[in-house]
């Protein structure tokens, strides 16, 4: 490690060499080689998932409060990156890391990122993105067809038709959802006579023009927080995202959805509500559940509103025939969002928003004089973002390299892994699984066998209780025990982070068998193809061992509760 990087005398000559080619092409290849070795070492390195460095220690490493002045050599900066950054990065590709949607990527993605950086195309306009604009349109058409399956003629006509856009490639799922809801807002308050539409006049005037007091977006309580962000950015307001409760399977409760809509439509005089969009989720963030899209679609049609499906997590499973029935009804959506950096195994980041109608993106079309001119073929006419990278190369290439058959194998493995974990948790006496989805997310908690038994017995007592007071007392007891087990699981999760040989995430759900109580759960996302049953067994054994150690501290307090 070079502790004192050599300062380089700044000269334009030196800087030019950085731009044209480092010193000579050999140097470029030499650095490239060193860099690939460095990355390879990172993957081979054993040890903790998060590195043992503490956050205060990290803040001391990165405490230089001023921009560096004199340049230093590339090799010295690479060495600094190796020691300070790579060494302390999270090994999200480690097969013992099963806690988040961010996971392992195929190695060819790293090479594709190099091409993206080397070409430095800007997708906003054809003058900075030639072939890459066509690649993007082709990818968008592939995904559009997967979701909406419109006719051959439709795709032949529109795949490279510059007058329309079937969707946008976005930075991420958040922006994809926001784009969908922006279009929904424009469709809800379109130009009307002399009124030029909400995009020109803002929400306030649009509501007044159409005689409404507010506009709302309806989604289940499992809706991703990006919906609230979009509502605030679009001037709709976070309070106007109406969350409908879910059923025991974490799917939107259709009856409650209907009830909510009826009550909005009955609205008191002077309190009229415009439903801007009704949303379905195809793969909820916390539990991987898929809403009943068919029913939601029917309701949205009856109401005459935009039907958006957030399939950021699960949408890629449409590639595989056996998963398609999960998404029944998605083809009736007005818009659908999918993230490539989730189940397409692309590195951070790329989202896509797709519109069933090729006309919908006209609602947000822009033009200006220096680029994206009205009659140009520039992709940027239809996007919320301005400059955008050639990120679509990653899914475009991986859909060829892996193919839908390959993705099928990856998803089948993910499904098997999810069920293996469930089986291992169920056979160990000290866990309770609380949700398992078809889309590779499982939630569970640590609960010593005898406590679980006690809870089951109390639930039986509650169910057979004849008098209200007795049932209430039993319910209180169940609540107390769950509260206690919540604290145990928070402590366990923190201990697992310290142990750092395995990783699962943690969340809090109300939709478990103990509702209406909130239950702290551990959340596993099982998409790494390198995670297998042996590794899962080690993970469960570790959680059990550490869980039992913590339980020793909790046990005497528990005895006091159950007396």
User: Could you list the residues that contact ligand PLP (CB under 6 A)?
Assistant: 101, 172-174, 177, 224, 226, 281, 283, 285, 310, 312-313, 339, 349, 351
The three-point CA angle 163-371-158 to 5° equals: 15
Contacts of 372 (CB under 8 A, 6+ apart): 124, 125, 366, 378, 380, 381
Closest approach of Cβ 352 to ligand PLP, in Å? 11
Q: Which is nearer to ligand PLP, 76 or 291 (CB)?
A: 291
DSSP code for 84: I
Gap between the Cα atoms of 538 and 557, Å rounded = 29
H/E stretch holding 204 reads helix 198-210
Q: Which is nearer to ligand PLP, 391 or 535 (CB)?
A: 391
Q: Which is nearer to ligand PLP, 189 or 327 (CB)?
A: 327
Considering only the C-alpha atoms of the chain, give the largest distance between any 2 of them, rounded to a whole number of Å. Answer: 90
Lateral strand order in the sheet of 335-339? 167-170, 351-355, 335-339, 306-310, 273-281, 214-220, 241-244
- Provide the Cα torsion 437, 443, 447, 451; round to 10°: -50
Tokens of 135: 């690649």
Gap between the Cα atoms of 499 and 48, Å rounded = 8
Closest approach of Cβ 437 to ligand PLP, in Å? 12
Contacts of 219 (CB under 8 A, 6+ apart): 227, 241, 242, 243, 244, 252, 278, 279, 281, 310
Closest approach of Cβ 206 to ligand PLP, in Å? 26
Among the listed residues 279, 277, 273, 245, the one whose alpha carbon sits nearest the alpha carbon of residue 259: 245
Closest approach of Cβ 386 to ligand PLP, in Å? 18
Gap between the Cα atoms of 491 and 361, Å rounded = 48
Closest approach of Cβ 244 to ligand PLP, in Å? 16
Closest approach of Cβ 482 to ligand PLP, in Å? 26
Q: Which is nearer to ligand PLP, 342 or 543 (CB)?
A: 342
Q: Which is nearer to ligand PLP, 312 or 488 (CB)?
A: 312
Across-strand partners of 12? none
Q: Which is nearer to ligand PLP, 391 or 399 (CB)?
A: 391
Closest approach of Cβ 107 to ligand PLP, in Å? 22
Q: Which is nearer to ligand PLP, 146 or 309 (CB)?
A: 309
Nearest residue to ligand PLP, using CB? 173
Closest approach of Cβ 290 to ligand PLP, in Å? 11
Q: Which is nearer to ligand PLP, 126 or 282 (CB)?
A: 282
CB 517 within 8 A of CB 435: no
Closest approach of Cβ 516 to ligand PLP, in Å? 24
Q: Which is nearer to ligand PLP, 223 or 329 (CB)?
A: 223
CB 252 within 8 A of CB 272: no
Closest approach of Cβ 222 to ligand PLP, in Å? 8
3-class SS string, 113-148: HHHHHHHCCCCCCCCCCCHHHHHHHHHHHHHHHHHH
Q: Catalogue the E-assigned strands of 3-110.
A: none
Q: Which is nearer to ligand PLP, 274 or 342 (CB)?
A: 342
């Amino acid at each position: 490690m070079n502790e004192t990087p050599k300062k380089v005398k700044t000269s334009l000559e030196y800087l030019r060499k950085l731009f044209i080619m480092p010193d000579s092409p050999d140097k470029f290849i030499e650095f490239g080689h060193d860099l690939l070795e460095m990355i390879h070492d990172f993957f081979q390195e054993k040890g903790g998932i998060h590195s043992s460095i503490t956050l205060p220690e990290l803040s001391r490493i990165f405490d230089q409060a001023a921009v560096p002045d004199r340049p230093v050599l590339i090799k010295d900066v690479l060495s600094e990156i190796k020691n300070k950054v790579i060494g302390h990065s999270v090994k999200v590709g480690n097969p013992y890391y099963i806690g988040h949607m961010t996971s392992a990527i195929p190695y060819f993605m790293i090479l594709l990122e190099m091409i993206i950086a080397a070409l430095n195309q800007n997708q906003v306009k054809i003058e900075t993105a030639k072939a890459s604009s066509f690649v993007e349109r082709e990818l968008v058409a592939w995904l559009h067809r997967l979701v909406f399956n419109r006719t051959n003629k439709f795709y032949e006509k529109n795949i490279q038709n510059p007058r329309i856009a079937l969707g946008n490639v976005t930075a991420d799922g958040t922006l994809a959802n926001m784009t969908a809801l922006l279009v929904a807002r424009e469709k809800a308050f379109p130009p009307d006579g002399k009124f030029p539409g909400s995009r020109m006049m803002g929400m306030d005037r649009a509501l007044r023009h159409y005689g409404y007091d507010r506009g709302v977006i309806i989604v289940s309580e499992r809706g991703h927080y990006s919906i609230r962000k979009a509502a605030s950015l679009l001037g709709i307001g976070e309070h106007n995202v109406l969350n409908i409760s879910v059923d025991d399977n974490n799917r939107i409760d259709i009856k409650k959805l209907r009830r909510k809509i009826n009550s909005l439509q009955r609205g008191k005089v002077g309190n009229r509500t415009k439903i801007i969009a009704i949303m379905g989720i195809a793969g909820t963030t916390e539990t991987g559940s898929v809403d009943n899209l068919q029913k939601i679609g029917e309701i949205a049609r009856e109401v005459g509103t935009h039907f958006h499906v957030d399939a950021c997590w699960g949408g890629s499973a449409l590639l595989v025939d056996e998963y398609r029935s999960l998404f029944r009804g998605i083809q009736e959506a007005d818009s659908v969002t999918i993230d490539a950096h989730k189940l397409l195994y692309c590195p951070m980041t790329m989202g896509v928003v797709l519109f069933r109608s090729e006309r919908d993106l006209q609602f947000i079309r822009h033009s200006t004089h220096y680029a994206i001119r009205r009659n140009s073929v520039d992709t940027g006419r239809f996007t919320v973002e301005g400059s955008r990278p050639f990120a679509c190369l990653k899914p475009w290439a991986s859909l060829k390299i892996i193919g839908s058959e390959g993705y099928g194998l990856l998803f089948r493995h993910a499904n098997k892994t999810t069920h293996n974990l469930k089986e291992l948790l169920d056979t160990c006496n000290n866990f309770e699984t609380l949700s398992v989805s078809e889309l590779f997310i499982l939630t569970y908690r640590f609960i010593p066998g005898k406590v679980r038994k006690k809870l089951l017995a109390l639930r039986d007592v509650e169910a057979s209780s004849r008098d209200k007071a007795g049932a209430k007392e039993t319910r209180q007891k169940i609540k107390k025990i769950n509260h206690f087990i919540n604290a145990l699981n928070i402590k366990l999760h923190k201990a697992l982070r310290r142990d750092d040989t395995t990783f699962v995430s943690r969340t809090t759900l109300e939709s478990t068998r103990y509702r209406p109580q909130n239950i702290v759960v551990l959340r596993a996302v099982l998409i790494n193809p390198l995670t297998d049953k042996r590794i899962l067994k080690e993970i469960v054994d570790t959680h059990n061992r550490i869980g039992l150690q913590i339980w020793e501290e909790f046990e005497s307090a528990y005895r006091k509760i159950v007396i």
